[in-house]
Amino acid sequence: MLVTGSFLAIFIGLVHSYLGERFILTRLFKRELPTLLGSDWFTKRILRFAWHLTTVAWWGFAAILFILSTPTADIQKQILIVITLVFLVSGLFSAGFTKGKHISWVFFWLIAGMSFYVAQNSF
């Protein structure tokens, strides 16, 4: 059942990102949005990266569900590596979509680094 849940989470992430871009974000961006840092460019970039960050998180959950479907002795390390990857990618999205102007990337990468450190040194 957990493997099925894992595949469903991957599927819903794909659908969420695709349909969100096609039917929500593109239409939303045609409207007047609040300006941040002098233009609506930053607002649009934040909305886009936040939208797709949901998919990244769901895929992380999918990986954890898959790992939990057949637990091994190093399950904590495996889950910490998934968490590391989710926050690493989240930081890449934040830094890339906003050209580093939204500082969430700093915190995402700190969490990724701490998770990776613990995964490598505690088990």
Report whether 102 contacts 46 (CB < 8 A). Answer: yes
pLDDT tens digits along 44-95: 999 999 999 999 999 999 999 999 999 999 999 999 999 999 999 999 999 9
2 contact partners, CB below 8 Å, separation of at least 6? 65, 66, 68, 69
Give the pLDDT of residue 39: 82
Q: Which amino acid makes up residue 123?
A: F
- Grouping H, G, I as helix, E, B as strand and the rest as coil, residue 39 is strand
Find all residues with CB under 8 Å of 18, minimum gap 6, and list them. none
pTM beyond 0.85: the answer is yes
